[in-house]
Structure 1
Amino acid sequence: MLALPAPVAEALALPGLWVLGLAALMAGLVRGFAGFGSGLVYMPIAGAVLPPAQAVAVLVLMDLLGPLANLPGALRTGTPREIGLLALGMLPGLPLGVAALFLVPPEAFRWTVSLIALATVAALVAGWRWHGPRGRGATITTGFLSGLVGGATALPGPPVILYYMASPVPVAQVRANLTMFLVMVDLGLAVVLGLSGQLGWTLATVSLMLLVPFSLANGLGSALFRPDRAGMYKVLAWVLIAASAVAGLPFWKG
């Protein structure tokens, strides 16, 4: 019998691989119809299965490749110039966040990602929005915060989500901008993690395996999205994010 390549065999032997697959499925669905939220769904569960840096690395590779099909439409619908300002702030924040990632213990990492996810849902449900100025400085600062949090937890979404939720632009344009920005964050994280030696063949294989359910669910979510039903999609995204965050809390020892 032909032996499997070592990275494939190691990936298949990973304890909890099916749990990661389920998390990837839910994450792709939310990303497809909401334009964000894949990390908020995936990371609390992944943090219970993998060490922090590995959990982030797997998500980065999966989340970078999965939404690429949505990128051409996002470029047409969104505002690339504003995304450039967000990226300008994100670039210095990202390596600082990754430096913190390497220092945090696994249990503290799980608490952090779950509480960030729950706090984001609570803020969205309560209707909290950024009500300050929306000029160039505020946009760059939002990008920096997203890069800092994204590097430390692979959750760059909350600062920019709350920033955009206060804007008067249409929902479809917000989704497009979030899609473009999160792809740029994933590119930055991939470079930083690659330079730090965190992107091995086994983790890349796990990411490719998870990319299948993630991409299928992402495509389904995009096909289901209807701007006139945005409220329904928001509620569903909130429920899935909150459920994942609760499941990822460290006091669930099993």
Structure 2
Amino acid sequence: MPTSTPDIFGQSPTGLAVIFFAAFLGGIVRGFSGFGTALIFLPLSTPYLGPFGALIGLTIMDIFGPLPNLRRAWHVVHRKDLVRLLVGCALLLPVGLWLLTKVEPEVFRYAVSLLALFMLAVLILGLRYHGHVGRGMVAGIGAAAGFLGGVAGLPGPAVILFYMSRPVPVEVIRATILLFLFGFDFLLLGFLTGMERITWAAAALGLVLAVPNLLGNWLGGWLFRPGFEKLYRATAYLAIAVAALFGLPLWG
């Protein structure tokens, strides 16, 4: 398995094929299930791009996916909760990123794959937090998401496990999560820029990857049929499991 390289475009044809396939597959899964881009892209791409290269590519390409839905989400979002989530995230995101600079790339790969498998188990079992989620806890959820987003590139698990227990309409929860993750991308880019981790090559690769990712989103949405929801969800779970297992450093 190849290791990270300072020149992100300095990949073998096989490496580039896997990276583009990961962006495309992540888009397809998100298109018909509504989630899964990071859970698929990070395990598959990190062996080739390294932790920061994979994070930058994911963040930049993922900015374009929710653009068509932002206006609608803004009309129904719980704005005070959104602020609490983002403030909490901004506090611990740099801590997660700092920790990421202190660990070996193999540790990041283990963290990403194991967290993806854990999240998959939670989704399959339908586990949710059923306790009270107050205002302070919302900020804490944002902080946990920021830390996990910094150290493993996966801010979603904390939000899905805990914030979805808020006693608010489902469309409000979805809009708040969508806008939080959109804001997270910009926070992450800001901190990575301050850490001087973003290069022109990495940014350009992220923009290029947005193309197969958007095509995947479109294809996944086109393939989706409500009557086959269980089949699509099972397919998404299988794709996430395979990507997570492939991303483990056990294979070299």
Aligned-partner Cα distance in 2 for 1:62–1:135: 33
- 5 Å-filtered alignment, 1:237-248, equals 237-248=236-247
- Show CA shifts across 1:125-144 (max 9, x none): 12221122111112111110
> Aligned residue for 2:68?
69
Pair 1:214–1:47, CA change in 2 (3 A): same
- SS of residue paired to 1:152: helix
Measure how far apart 1:28 and its partner are: 1.5
Aligned-partner Cα distance in 2 for 1:48–1:42: 11
Aligned amino acid, residue 68 of structure 1: L
**Which segments of 5 or more consecutive residues in structure 1 lack a partner in the other structure?**
1-9
- SS of residue paired to 2:251: coil
- 5 Å-filtered alignment, 1:150-165, equals 150-165=149-164
Whether contact under 8 Å (1:37, 1:157) holds in the other structure is no
CA RMSD of aligned residues (A): 2.3
Aligned-partner Cα distance in 2 for 1:74–1:112: 31
Further displaced range: 40-49 or 163-172: 163-172
Aligned amino acid, residue 36 of structure 1: F
Whether contact under 8 Å (2:42, 2:54) holds in the other structure is yes
Pair 1:86–1:35, CA change in 2 (3 A): farther
Aligned amino acid, residue 192 of structure 2: L
Pair 1:222–1:171, CA change in 2 (3 A): farther
- Show CA shifts across 1:183-214 (max 9, x none): 11111000000111111111112112211010
Aligned-partner Cα distance in 1 for 2:164–2:65: 24
**Which segments of 5 or more consecutive residues in structure 2 lack a partner in the other structure?**
1-6
Measure how far apart 1:166 and its partner are: 3.7
Aligned amino acid, residue 61 of structure 1: I
Measure how far apart 1:169 and its partner are: 5.1
Whether contact under 8 Å (1:171, 1:227) holds in the other structure is no
> Aligned residue for 1:191?
190
Measure how far apart 1:120 and its partner are: 0.6
- Show CA shifts across 1:213-254 (max 9, x none): 10122234345567786655443332222121011111122x
Aligned-partner Cα distance in 2 for 1:229–1:83: 33
Measure how far apart 1:23 and its partner are: 0.6
Aligned-partner Cα distance in 1 for 2:163–2:224: 19
Aligned amino acid, residue 101 of structure 1: L
Further displaced range: 222-231 or 191-200: 222-231
**TM-score, normalised via structure 2 length:** 0.87
Aligned-partner Cα distance in 2 for 1:146–1:58: 19
- SS of residue paired to 1:50: helix
Pair 1:96–1:20, CA change in 2 (3 A): same
**2:9 matches 1:18:** no
Whether contact under 8 Å (1:101, 1:152) holds in the other structure is yes
Pair 1:231–1:174, CA change in 2 (3 A): farther
Whether contact under 8 Å (2:133, 2:165) holds in the other structure is no
Aligned-partner Cα distance in 2 for 1:164–1:242: 24
Whether contact under 8 Å (1:171, 1:230) holds in the other structure is no
Whether contact under 8 Å (1:23, 1:45) holds in the other structure is yes
Measure how far apart 1:32 and its partner are: 3.1
- SS of residue paired to 1:199: coil
> Aligned residue for 1:45?
44
Pair 1:96–1:106, CA change in 2 (3 A): same
Pair 1:55–1:122, CA change in 2 (3 A): same
> Aligned residue for 2:204?
205
Aligned amino acid, residue 177 of structure 2: L
- 5 Å-filtered alignment, 1:85-96, equals 85-96=84-95
Aligned-partner Cα distance in 1 for 2:9–2:170: 40
**2:113 matches 1:114:** yes
